Amino acid sequence: MENMARHRIIGFDREMMSFTDWLTDAQAKTSIFSISGIGGIGKTTLLLQMARTARQFSVRSLWLDGRGGLTTLGSFLASLEMSLATEYGRTRDRDAALLSYIASELSLVPTVLLIDNCEEIERLEGWLFSSFLPELKSARVLFVCASRNGLPLQWQTNPEWKSRLRRFPLRLFTREEVYDYLGSSGLPVELQREIAQKTDGHPLSLALTVDMLFSESAEERDVWREVPAVLSAEFLREAASPNLYRALTALSLLPAADEALLNRLLDKPLEGADYYQLTALSFVRDTMDGISLHQVVARILREDFARRTPEQFEAVRHRAFVLLAERFHSVDHRMQMRLSAHILELYREFLPSAHAYANFSSSLKPGEQKPFQLEDLPDLQRFMKASILGSDWQSELVEPADYPALLDGIAARFPEGIFVVRDEKGRPLAFCAGLWLHALSMPLLERYAPGCRQMLGEEAFSLHELPLEAADTIFVLLSAVNSEHSLYRPEELGALLMQQWLVHMTRGLRGILAAADPQLNALLSVLGFQACGKVTGFAGIELTTWELDFRQSAFDQWIQRIIRQTETAAAQPALPRENDHRLSIERNEMKQMLERLFELDKLEELPVMRRFCWSGMQVRATIQEILADTHQAGPLTAMEKEILIAGYLRKDRNKSELAASFHMSRATFYRHMRLAEQHLAYVLGDRLRQAEGDSL
């Protein structure tokens, strides 16, 4: 009974409902179900459940296994004949043709034909479509085909059978389903939580972990070491050659990679055919950014790689950090967000797994990112109330009694300052709230957090004059998670909030906050925040001011801090090299150069010009050349070039007229202008590096 309790069938409601509908439909016709998914996700388990259900409904079921050799029509028909004989005592007359006999038998009574491991079925496609399936078109047969990649495209586009085909790609377990599975296991609640965190909803990982914990030698076994090793071996069985094996372990460290990028991470480049073989593996997807590993498979391969050869893993991961940092400014905004998320995923194991505010050992995936909605406010107030009762950090700049009113004020007047992390159904799990700093928001900030003036210093005066559309700094004041959630620990949600907020900030924003809690201060330091001094909060509390600045080129500085923290003796020296800082240009420096582009004497007075030892004439000619070039230069798009030309070279319209000419609001135009300045700074810096290299 204990063993049965540990192997309850869960997570197949949709598939089993469709299967049962077919069994109970007296008018059902011959149909095809295609079950697909990565290794260990439950394809065989689902087929076994379907076989049991068919017996309960007294419907005949036959089982074929592709690993037994279903690559020829003779073996396919022979396997069916054997199943009919051994399972149901049906035998063929000596004079009857095999195909006619099988077609006749399958037409006699409703039949479910379960085919597991049917990866090689494409070899029989022509014969199945031309000779076998037409014989059964008016019968009542359900073909259930399970394979890692699903039935080939020809099945989905065949004019005769595509309307009878249903696809069922299997998914990972939700956290709720994992707890459902573990509920009757008898394992302690805390251990169930740890299992839920570390198995990522992968069914085979979950089953193996539970089995090992119940084994007689459980106390002597390192379950968290053994399970990834077993699963990585299972996944790598698909990779027949050592070259593919090496490529997969390297790919596990990248969000996506084309052949050139993957080869930069390998000591020995792949042969061309090997790269295309990777795309055929069940857990590798071909995307617009290159090939990408299934997230769970990538994690498992990384864990196994790290445990087998830790020094080699650390060296390769370090090279991956450097590669991703190099790529950041040469890709579009969508890919920048993806790179940021992946960098944080690789960095996760360097972050604390046990912390008062965040537990980074769990790799939770948030739901869709949606802006704050007014209907979210009751949930956020409830989270914050529970946080206050638990004495968790909010803001020592604000009187605790004012927290609810402050949150209401932000929601009513400046809702863009609220960042919400949601579950798969769109319900809030956690939030942080602050104010984008500009002339309209500063009075509210100073009303509730008077200590902000000390934090901001002289900048406070200019912020009182800053228009809304130019705001690029968020002052964080409140933060809370759903501490009463039944499925997630508060520390897991805290980690999820911090990770997602960091990714959000890489769009080119600056975040400011202040804290007195030493644990929070230590965590902020590890996350790449910069300490900017001390200020005094309410009741005379001394606070540390923290800043995370992704404006201009600060992402490079942040990722370099990450790289330095992950360096090992085996790793390559971190970039940038000694002279790279001298050859990088900040966005504000680029803006100053553009503003003085036609005043050479003023242009040459800029500190950035003296750093490069360039003449004003050279800089002006190079910038004009970049903007006039019809080819895209790195991250600088054609539209961004037009914006810079209109704003700095022609200078015949004011900002409102420019925004209207590009069919944008002033706020949107300002954001595009800042991004264009940042991208031009990167391209110009790249030209400088090339010029210096040519002169050596």
User: What are the tens digits of pLDDT across the range 123-138?
Assistant: 888 899 999 999 998 8
Q: How far is CA 654 from the centre of its chain?
A: 41
Domain-terminating residue out of 531, 566, 601: 566
Same domain, 12 and 106: yes
Residue 31 three-state SS: strand
Residue 651: what are its φ and ψ, rounded to 5°?
A: 50, 40
Same domain, 163 and 194: no
Q: How far apart are CA 30 and CA 18, in angstroms?
A: 14
Over range 364-383, report the average pLDDT: 88
Over range 460-477, report the average pLDDT: 91
Question: What DSSP line would sit under 342-381, residue for residue?
Answer: HHHHHHGGGS-SS-SS--TTS-----------GGGHHHHH
Which segment of 4-8, 246-250, 343-347, 529-533 scores lowest on mean pLDDT? 4-8
Mean pLDDT, the chain, whole residue set: 83
Q: Which amino acid is at 440?
A: L
Q: Is there a contact between 186 and 5 (Cβ–Cβ < 8 Å)?
A: yes
Same domain, 14 and 149: yes
Residue 537: what are its φ and ψ, rounded to 5°?
A: -95, -165
Same domain, 591 and 662: yes
In a domain, 581, yes or no: no
Same domain, 226 and 292: yes
Supply the CATH number for residue 153's domain. Answer: 3.40.50.300
Contacts of residue 37, defined as CB under 8 A and 6 or more positions apart, other chains included, come to 43, 148, 169, 170, 171, 282
Same domain, 401 and 508: yes
Contacts of residue 544, defined as CB under 8 A and 6 or more positions apart, other chains included, come to 514, 515, 516, 521, 531, 533, 534
572: number of Cβ within 10 Å: 11
Over range 500-514, report the average pLDDT: 86
Query: Which structural domain range is residue 591 located in?
Result: 587-695
Q: How far apart are CA 284 and CA 130, in angstroms?
A: 32
Task: State the total domains in the chain.
Answer: 4
In a domain, 213, yes or no: no
Residue 428: what are its φ and ψ, rounded to 5°?
A: -60, 135
In a domain, 580, yes or no: no
Summarize pLDDT for 436-447 with one digit per residue, the tens.
999 999 999 999
- 283's tokens: 């857990």
Same domain, 10 and 122: yes
Look at residue 558 and tell me whether its pLDDT is greater than 90.
no
Share of the chain above pLDDT 90, in %: 24
Q: How far apart are CA 251 and CA 256, in angstroms?
A: 7
Tell me, what's the pLDDT at 572? 39
Same domain, 557 and 601: no
Angle in degrees, CA 636, 639, 640, rounded to 5: 45
Contacts of residue 268, defined as CB under 8 A and 6 or more positions apart, other chains included, come to 243, 246
More confident residue, 230 or 142: 142
Same domain, 56 and 109: yes
Supply the CATH number for residue 465's domain. Answer: 3.40.630.30
More confident residue, 583 or 15: 15
Same domain, 193 and 114: no
Residue 585: closest CA among 562, 619, 559, 536: 619
Tell me, what's the pLDDT at 569? 29
pTM flag (> 0.85): no
In a domain, 412, yes or no: yes
Q: Is there a contact between 565 and 573 (Cβ–Cβ < 8 Å)?
A: no
In a domain, 128, yes or no: yes
Q: Is there a contact between 479 and 386 (Cβ–Cβ < 8 Å)?
A: no
- 507's tokens: 């769009």
Q: Is there a contact between 624 and 607 (Cβ–Cβ < 8 Å)?
A: no
In a domain, 176, yes or no: no
Same domain, 267 and 157: no
Same domain, 191 and 70: no
Question: Cα dihedral angle (445, 449, 455, 456), rounded to 10 degrees?
Answer: 20
In a domain, 575, yes or no: no
In a domain, 389, yes or no: yes
